[in-house]
Amino acid sequence: MFMILPLLVLSVHLVVIEGGGPSKCAPNECLSQYDYCGTNSSYCGEGCKGGPCTGSTTTIPPPSKCAPNECLSQYGYCGVSPAHCGKGCKGGPCTDSKTTVPPASKCAPNECLSQYGYCGVSSAHCGKGCKGGPCLSDSSNTAAPPTPATSGTVSTVFDENVFKCIFSELDSATLTKRFNGLKTAASKMKWTPADDKHEIAAFLAHVSHETDGLKTYIEYCKSQGTCNNYQNSPWCSAQAKSGKQYFGRGWLQLSYPCNYEACGKAIGLDLLSDPDLVNGSDEVAAQTGIWFWQSNELGPLAAADKFGETTNKLNVYECTGHPGHHMQAKRISTYKTVRKCYGLPESTGNLEC
């Protein structure tokens, strides 16, 4: 798992609560190294600042604790994504770093080899710096990108009619682009939400809340003059690139240099050097949201009807006791609407955090 990403609700971002302390957590909770309250090893393990900390020895499980098909990531978490099995992988079926940059011939016929050595069909792969495949001209954006491959399993929970119900304020063309971007991104990220639809309902509810119903991939920060608030933080060691800003972008509002860097490595794009790649493609915008969702293991929480806990990881600023608590009601209302679109009964879990 990567560091918890500060995500916010469009016009307001607050990720790290400076000056937080153990007293802000419940008696059974730990204050993590990133100043968030919780009870699992992410909070009570390495870097824990207060509460019933367990120490660094519990945060890095030995490879044997992972399933046979899982990798132990550089941060000590089990999983099967490139973020777990790629660079820094400590155990399991790790992929050698040399294989992350395939020659153009290793890409599918309809895919481009990006300037960073990864296969894909988005403008980020086929545009500027493209090294192979059906590249677009660097000087012109008039050529259409190659059509994404249709092979591969995409979960049946991706229903366009339901998508229209959730994002009903989008025009038809935009809605279709967003939906196709989601399907392509999910296929590439090998993300198949549970068929009971609880996970996808929670995911799309958060996406709708963070992006104003998918009307924007960019945080509304210019009017408030807060776009430069995410250039650095005590918990982030990645250095901001000159002239670049790291405010919220994408389906779950990726923020701060560390998260752009980590997400970029996972999906094969240098987002730290060019953060605008996130909002330049429906596919990439969706991939960043799925990356955060997978890396922070929100799926199991959502599937267990623990919507409030997913909000706590996405945007603790909205949780009880924090300045943005009044905005949580809108997020919950959106979740209830999405559940109705999926034909799900009313949630019986804890919706608040």
Q: Which residues are catalytic?
A: 210
Sign of the C-alpha dihedral, residues 248, 249, 252, 258? negative
The C-alpha atoms of residue 254 and residue 98 are separated, in whole angstroms, by 27
The C-alpha atoms of residue 170 and residue 193 are separated, in whole angstroms, by 24
251 closest CA partner among 213, 289, 218:
289
Instruction: Give the pair of three-digit tokens for residue 66.
Output: 């992972």
Show the CA angle centred on residue 342, arms to residues 340 and 345, nearest 5°. Answer: 55
The C-alpha atoms of residue 76 and residue 123 are separated, in whole angstroms, by 33
- Backbone dihedral angles phi then psi of residue 339, each to the nearest 5 degrees: -60, -40
- Other CB atoms within 10 Å distance of the CB of residue 139: 7
Residue keyed to tokens 């207060």: 50
